[in-house]
A = this chain, B = another copy of it.
Amino acid sequence: MGMEDFVVTTAFDVRYVETDAMGIVHHSAYIVWFEEGRSAWFRERLRDPRGYALIEADGYAMALTDVSARYVSPARFGDRVEVHTWVSSVRSRGLTVDYEISHADSGAMLCKGSTRHLCLNRDGAVVRIPDRWIARLSL
């Protein structure tokens, strides 16, 4: 099975700090939730609770270069949300990850987005994603 077919869903409760004076979740919280979805994806994909931290411990980073988000409807404190995360494309030196965030109870769509990442080594140089990581992420 390819990396692209592996969709991971993680759920959590809205934190009060994530709300703003409009009474709804601030748009920047969804960018953090994308990251939380991505972290869950790595944890499940690598079948290890340390997840992406294993890649960093190996000397590589998947540095984020682009983010985009479209906000569909608001979330509020007291809501539980789900983040659905999958890798939408793999390149030799990077990945694109897509996200859908929905209300856990109603299933209503809250936000869709995407992030692009480049593989860096410890010196910060852009490098090919090591074959061993491609293999582990694709199994």
Contacts and interface: CB of A to CB of B under 8 A. Distances in A.
A19 B17 contact: no
Interface residues of A, number: 42
Contacts of A71: 63-66
Nearest to A114: B68
Given A49-B80, A66-B71, A76-B21, A35 B13 contact: no
Contacts of A56: 21, 77
Contacts of A26: 16-17
A30 to B, nearest CB: 9
Is the contact region of chain A dominated by helix, strand, or loop, or is it mixed? mixed
B22 A20 contact: no
A43 B16 CA distance: 13
A66 B69 contact: yes
A2 interface: no
A41 to B, nearest CB: 12
A26 to B, nearest CB: 5
A39 interface: yes
Interface of A: 12-13, 15-17, 19-24, 26-28, 31-32, 35-36, 39-40, 43, 49-54, 56, 61, 63-71, 76-78, 80
7 contacts: A15-B35, A22-B61, A27-B31, A49-B78, A51-B78, A53-B76, A65-B71
